[in-house]
């Protein structure tokens, strides 16, 4: 009888998704996720280093700023790869429309409908400028991701090369660059992980020292030489992270 009542309760109760909808509607709109930023990362580092004294505050601020900078550069690389891939896909649709006999303004408008940023903005600018007979090259100068496209447009206008052929060449080049950058980025995952592990080894050594009874935390937080060594060690760690990040970015670039 108990099992039957339990089964009936399961049938009557709303699903987890339905409960989330009901709770969300009762509480109102959800709060947007707080995006990380540089000052917040520095403040978090200061809060973590505060128990270790002035040296801990300085070290925490440096480490927080370094981690934030590394994070932003990784995000920027992913955004650049995504932008190149989106622009290549948008150009593919644009070239197909041009080869079907469509006017550049109409072709750009059609390609922009299914494109993703920043290709949507680039194609919309081409469509608006072409429709009124303006200078497309000048309009594309406002988009850093479309400089190669602007040069191709100028080549077609000055030398009479078919626009579809020039844009298709740009699209193929973007595809090759995106594929190569993606492969290199994936292969550099190992070196990046090794750099992160090496950066964390000093912390592991401090933990081992505490477990062994040496008391390194008391020395680092309670003595002047320890404070100096703490700041110097974090400076070296941050420099190592920055240098390894620079090396990996140069390989990808």
Q: Find, among 6, 10, 30, the residue nearest to 20 by Cα.
A: 30
For residue 29, report the phi and psi dihedrals to the nearest 5 degrees: -65, 145
Picking from 171, 203, 228, the residue at the C-terminal end of a domain is 171
Q: How far apart are CA 247 and CA 253, in angstroms?
A: 10
Half-sphere exposure of 242 (CA within 13 A, CB side): 13
Is residue 181 within a helix (H) or strand (E), and if so which, with residue range? Answer: helix 163-187
What is the average per-residue pLDDT within 161-186?
Answer: 88
Could you tell me if 191 and 73 lie in one domain? yes
Q: pLDDT digits over 67-107, tens only?
A: 999 889 888 888 888 888 899 999 999 999 999 999 999 99
Same domain, 57 and 96: no
Are 74 and 90 found together in one domain?
A: no
Whether 77 and 249 have beta carbons less than 8 Å apart is answered as yes
Q: Per the domain annotation, does 69 fall within a domain?
A: yes
The Cβ of residue 238 has, within 10 Å, a number of other Cβ atoms equal to: 20
Per-residue pLDDT reduced to its tens digit, 152-173: 888 888 888 899 999 999 999 9
> Token pair for residue 100?
């079907």
Q: What percent of the chain has pLDDT over 70?
A: 85
Question: Are the C-beta atoms of 98 and 83 separated by less than 8 Å?
Answer: no
* Residue 7 covered by a domain: no
Give the pLDDT confidence score for residue 251 in this predicted structure: 66
pLDDT(26) > 60: no
Q: Is residue 92 a contact partner of residue 86, using CB atoms and an 8 Å limit?
A: no
Is residue 32 assigned to a domain? no
pLDDT reading at 205 higher than 60:
yes
Range of the domain at 238: 44-78+186-252
The three-class DSSP label of residue 115 is: coil
123-136 pLDDT tens trace: 999 999 988 888 88
Q: Which two tokens stand for residue 18?
A: 């339905």
3-state helix, strand, coil in the chain (%, to 5): 85, 0, 15
Supply the mean pLDDT for the chain: 81
Q: Pick from 143, 171, 199: which residue ends a domain?
A: 171
Confidence band, pLDDT 50/70/90 cuts, at residue 3: very low
Q: How many CB atoms lie within 10 A of CB 61?
A: 19
Instruction: Judge if 119 and 72 occupy the same domain.
Output: no
**Could you please report the per-residue DSSP string of 3-62?**
HHHHHHHHHHSPPHHHHHHHHHHHH-SPPPPPPP-HHHHHHHHHHHHGGGHHHHHHHHHH
Instruction: Specify the number of domains making up the chain.
Output: 2
Q: Are residues 51 and 127 in the same domain?
A: no
Residue with tokens 């400089």: 147
Nearest to 131 by CA among 159, 112, 147, 152: 112
Confidence of residue 59 (pLDDT cuts 50, 70, 90): very high
């Amino acid at each position: 009888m108990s099992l039957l009542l339990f089964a009936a309760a399961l049938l009557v109760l709303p699903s987890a998704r339905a409960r989330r909808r009901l709770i969300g509607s009762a509480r109102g709109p959800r709060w947007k996720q707080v995006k990380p930023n540089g000052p917040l990362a520095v403040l978090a580092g200061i809060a973590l280093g505060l128990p270790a004294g002035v040296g801990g505050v300085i070290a925490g601020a440096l480490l927080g700023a370094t981690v934030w900078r590394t994070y932003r550069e990784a995000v920027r690389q992913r955004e650049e790869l995504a932008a190149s891939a989106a622009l290549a896909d948008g150009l593919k649709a644009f070239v197909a429309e041009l080869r079907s006999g469509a006017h550049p303004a109409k072709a750009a408008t059609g390609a922009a409908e299914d494109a993703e940023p920043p290709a949507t903005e680039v194609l919309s600018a081409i469509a608006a400028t072409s429709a009124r007979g303006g200078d497309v090259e000048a309009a594309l100068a406002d988009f850093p991701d479309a400089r190669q496209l602007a040069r191709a447009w100028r080549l077609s206008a000055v030398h009479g090369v078919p626009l579809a052929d020039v844009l298709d060449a740009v699209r193929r080049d973007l595809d090759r660059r995106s594929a190569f950058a993606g492969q290199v980025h994936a292969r550099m995952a190992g070196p990046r992980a090794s750099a992160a592990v090496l950066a964390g080894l000093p912390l592991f050594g401090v933990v081992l020292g505490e477990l062994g009874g040496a008391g390194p935390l008391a020395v680092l937080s309670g003595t002047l030489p320890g404070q100096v060594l703490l700041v110097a060690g974090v400076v070296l760690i941050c420099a190592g992270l920055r240098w390894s990040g620079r090396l990996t970015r140069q390989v990808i670039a």
